[in-house]
Amino acid sequence: MEDKGPLDVGPEEGARLLAAVAELVVGHISTIPDGPVAPAGPDTALIRERLAGYDFERPAPADDALTDVTEMLRRWGVHTTHPRYFGLFNPTPTWWGVAGELLAAGVNPQLAAYSHAPAAVEMERHVLRFMAARLGLPEASEGGFTVGGAEANLTAVVVALTRAFDDYARAGVRGLPGSPVLYASAESHLAWLKIAHMTGLGRDAVRLVPVDARHRMDLDRLREIHAADVAAGFLPFLVIGTAGTTAGGALDPLPELSAFAVEHGLHFHVDAAWAGAVALSDRLRPLLAGVELADSVTVDAHKWLSAPMGAGMFLTRHPEALARSFRASTSYMPGETADAPDPYATSVQWSRRFAGLKVFLALAVAGRPAYAAQLERDVRLGELLARLLHENGWQRINDTPLPLVCVAAPEAERSGPDHSATWHAAVADHVVTSGDAWISTVRLAGRPAIRICLTSHRTTPADVEALVSTLTQARAAHQSSA
């Protein structure tokens, strides 16, 4: 037998490869602002044709393959690293985050069992404890890194069910004396529907409570719907406050929701996937007032904290409920230690990558104050954006201090919502196909609009001005159809 296996190409080749990757990544990120934010179309046939060249039988030279895939990613994708990507919370990652990602991949610790990777697990716990403290959660809070907000929210539902119903773990939803229901606003993230489907609650269990004029959960409607549910024999167990809705950045009234949850014995979860980041700024932290009362919280580091995907965080003040929710023991897993719970027995995942390292490293090197300054800068850029759009005759239809601006053109709204939706979609499409910026369309309480979110830490005031001018041109081009 050979001395070395066929996959072991040795450290010199490794070093050469990583240097080549570094050059490609730096080249990609530094030249992205010179090109279009988004491709003209998906070009699926062309992409498949190009991929057909890889039959995985004949090995391809590493440099060719690297250059080719980087080129394909460049040509056929929306660029979240572009300073004029005003998009769906997907950040331009920080260099520290990218470096942390590479380091985690290379060392590849297995974070399923504590004893396998105590340093890695403690680094993640260090970040989670820091987040918990910034949010005002008790020191004894526990949690974990997740793939993203959807997994963190799934975790919240499993923990809430486990806390509410003694028999849920053993007999499941079907063993309960009625149908459990949960409450979230009509503007909440609709991952709740998938989660209800996955957990056996069924999608009908999600009560989407109407919102007020500011797109915040309407407390009177919550009371009405809850009372009707109780009268009809349903089993309410969870109320969710969204801190920073995806569509319009609305902040639900968290202290009132907490009081409601306490009054009715419900688990109170705060979904702060995007806006939870502001906990790092003393100036912006008051926007999250009430989050400290939550039974559990979701925050995504891969949104406004500019970590590469995926890095979500789940935190709860009920460590024992978390442990009951995901307990498992097997003959083949390493035994528990007394120092900390095993991540695989307190979370959805089993084998677990070191998602927390990129967050740890970025916080360690940049420091919290730099994050606070960035978040505050983004808020000011959002204010600039809102002011410029207002001066250009756009009507803002959302009301939030967060840097997410939804606007409509009054001339297009006169002919009703269907026409308005088509018109705003055409204008957004005009902007996107120009390559100058990426924005999207949205409906807020049924009202069509254009959605613009400060998402990249590379965005400058000049980028905001450029977007407004592109948008004004697009609007003029579609004036006759308004």
Ligand X SMILES: *Cc1c(COP(=O)(O)O)cnc(C)c1O
Q: CA separation (Å) from 379 to 82, 296, 402, 454?
A: 18, 26, 6, 8
Q: How far is the CB of 253 from ligand X (least distance, A)?
A: 16
Q: Which residues of 338-372 are buried (b: 16+ CB within 10 A; e: fewer)?
A: eeebbbbbbbbbeebbbbbbbbbbbbeebeeeebb
* By the rule CB under 6 A, 150 interacts with ligand X: yes
Write down the H helix ranges in 146-245: 149-164, 168-171, 191-198, 219-231
CA proximity to 468, closest of 398, 349, 382: 382
* By the rule CB under 6 A, 273 interacts with ligand X: yes
| Full DSSP string of 44-88 | HHHHHHHHTT--SSSPPPHHHHHHHHHHHHHHSS--TTSTTB--S
* By the rule CB under 6 A, 149 interacts with ligand X: yes
Q: How far is the CB of 402 from ligand X (least distance, A)?
A: 11
- Helix 191-198 vs helix 149-164: angle between axes, to the nearest 10 degrees? 50
**Quick one: 250 or 362, whose CB is closer to ligand X?**
250
| Full DSSP string of 231-250 | HTT-EEEEEEEEBS-TTT--
* By the rule CB under 6 A, 312 interacts with ligand X: yes
* By the rule CB under 6 A, 274 interacts with ligand X: yes
- Report the site for ligand X in 83-122 (rule: CB under 6 A): 89
* By the rule CB under 6 A, 156 interacts with ligand X: no
* By the rule CB under 6 A, 242 interacts with ligand X: yes
3-state per-residue secondary structure call for 379-440: HHHHHHHHHHHHHCCCEECCCCCCCEEEEECHHHHCCCHHHHHHHHHHHHHHHHHHCCCECE
* By the rule CB under 6 A, 355 interacts with ligand X: no
Q: How far is the CB of 300 from ligand X (least distance, A)?
A: 5
**Quick one: 149 or 448, whose CB is closer to ligand X?**
149
Report, in angstroms and rounded to the nearest whole number, the Rg of the chain calculated over CA atoms: 24
One residue of 36, 83, 144, 148 binding ligand X per CB under 6 A: 148
* By the rule CB under 6 A, 141 interacts with ligand X: no
CA proximity to 197, closest of 150, 162, 241, 243: 150
* By the rule CB under 6 A, 80 interacts with ligand X: no
Residues 6+ away with beta carbon under 8 Å from 482 = 409, 411, 412, 423
**Quick one: 453 or 482, whose CB is closer to ligand X?**
453
**Quick one: 290 or 312, whose CB is closer to ligand X?**
312
Both tokens of 284, joined, read: 């912006």
**Quick one: 89 or 360, whose CB is closer to ligand X?**
89
Rounded to an integer, what distance in angstroms lies between the CA atom of residue 158 and that of residue 246? 23
* By the rule CB under 6 A, 269 interacts with ligand X: no
Stretch of 21-29, 222-230, 251-259, 270-278 lying at the interface with ligand X (CB under 6 A): 270-278
Q: How far is the CB of 5 from ligand X (least distance, A)?
A: 37
Stretch of 144-152, 216-224, 325-333, 458-466 lying at the interface with ligand X (CB under 6 A): 144-152
One residue of 246, 306, 374, 398 binding ligand X per CB under 6 A: 246
- Report the site for ligand X in 162-221 (rule: CB under 6 A): 189, 191
**Quick one: 274 or 423, whose CB is closer to ligand X?**
274
Residues 6+ away with beta carbon under 8 Å from 76 = 39, 42, 43, 47
**Quick one: 104 or 273, whose CB is closer to ligand X?**
273
Count of residues that interact with ligand X, criterion CB under 6 A: 14
Q: How far is the CB of 119 from ligand X (least distance, A)?
A: 26
**Quick one: 24 or 297, whose CB is closer to ligand X?**
297
Helices then strands, counting H and E runs in the chain, come out as 16, 11
Stretch of 106-114, 213-221, 268-276, 341-349 lying at the interface with ligand X (CB under 6 A): 268-276
- Report the site for ligand X in 395-454 (rule: CB under 6 A): none
Residues that bind ligand X (CB under 6 A): 89, 148-150, 153, 189, 191, 242, 246, 271, 273-274, 300, 312
